[in-house]
Amino acid sequence: MDYTLLMEILLDFEKPIYDLESQIKKLEKQNLDKDLGTESEIKILKEKAQTLLSKTFEQLTSWQKVQLARHPMRPHSLEYMNHLFDFYEEIHGDRRFSEDASILCGFAKRGNQKWAYIAIEKGRKTADKVKHNFGMVRPEGYRKSLRLMELAEKFSLPILTLVDTPGAYPGIGAEERGQALAIAENIQTMFKVKTPIISVVIGEGGSGGALGIAVADKVFMQQHAIYSVISPESCASILWSDPAKGEEAAESLKIDAQMAQKLKVIDGIIAEPIGGAHRNLEEAVNLLGKSIDKALVEIKKVKLEELLSQRREKFRLMGNDFMVARK
């Protein structure tokens, strides 16, 4: 973790934690340089900082979870891929129009297991963000991922998808090239593709842009990720003509992982390091890796035809419990 950089982009609710941690670092340096005998004071402050960290992240509001899912230092797909996989090779282009760098597709190896992967990448620095279109996938990106799904089925490779997008790209060109159709074809194919699929929302799961690669046998969300039909700001603009009411909209949208699991939109939540994945990438990778490894073992126990049936039935029944509860 780049502590100096992190200090410059803190969220409001993170500042008291980092103020304490800064004080601890200062005391540790002074003690190291001058042997001031402040070990007991440092120990008390560390305990206080840990308590504050745990308490803060146990009581996050829906809007704070939105902020955390969008955190500038939150790990992106490429960072997970570089640590999850021993090796990966990317494919490019949709064979119809062009390449779309917002979505990465290819083949990888993790231990003895070979994978096909589909991962939406937002980009970190300005040039990368532009290159990856801020994680907003165009039609050719969805069609590239469709190519990958068909290849994965042909070679009997399980598919891992990493979802992190504010939504599909809404530009005029994207609409002219069939954005809605591309997403629909992906969804249709994912219900039928004869190989295991695991999907993980690692940051933002924005509407159809996310669903276009998230029809899976096991759908997970990281603990501080979000998944919604619309962004809170857009929802507030529609309902109240005021995007500033995004915080209020976030509460109504039931946007967080805990609510998604309760509503049976996802199959499980992948824990993050205390304070969020951005505080400890190595631990976040280990937690995610163990979850997908375990899920694949479970999926492989199910016969293929039964797996496809379960996949379709799971999505068909989504929302039923909620509608019954409202009656």
35-57 pLDDT tens trace = 556 677 778 888 888 888 888 89
Q: Is the pLDDT of residue 191 over 80?
A: yes
Pairwise CA distance, residues 154 & 116, whole Å: 11
- Tens digits of per-residue pLDDT, 145-188? 999 999 999 999 999 999 999 999 999 999 999 999 999 999 99
Domain ranges of the chain: 3-59, 66-326
C-alpha 182 chain-centroid distance: 21
**Mean pLDDT within 25-41:** 69
Q: pLDDT class for 17, splitting at 50, 70, 90?
A: confident
More confidently predicted of 140 and 327: 140
**Mean pLDDT within 112-136:** 96
Q: What is the CATH number of domain 66-326?
A: 3.90.226.10
Q: Is the pLDDT of residue 8 over 60?
A: no
**Mean pLDDT within 79-87:** 96
Lowest mean pLDDT among 102-106, 182-186, 241-245, 319-323: 319-323
Pairwise CA distance, residues 219 & 295, whole Å: 10
Q: pLDDT class for 21, splitting at 50, 70, 90?
A: confident
Pairwise CA distance, residues 143 & 140, whole Å: 5
For the chain, what is the mean pLDDT?
Answer: 90
Q: Is the pLDDT of residue 115 over 60?
A: yes
Q: Which long-range contacts (CB under 8 A, 24 or more apart) does 54-61 make?
A: 54/274, 56/13, 56/14, 56/16, 56/17, 57/274, 57/275, 57/276, 60/13, 60/224, 61/247, 61/250, 61/251
Q: pLDDT class for 1, splitting at 50, 70, 90?
A: very low
Structure token pair of residue 285: 């990778």
Among residues of the chain, what percentage have pLDDT more than 90? 73
- Tens digits of per-residue pLDDT, 208-266? 999 999 999 999 999 999 999 999 999 999 999 998 899 999 988 989 999 999 989 99
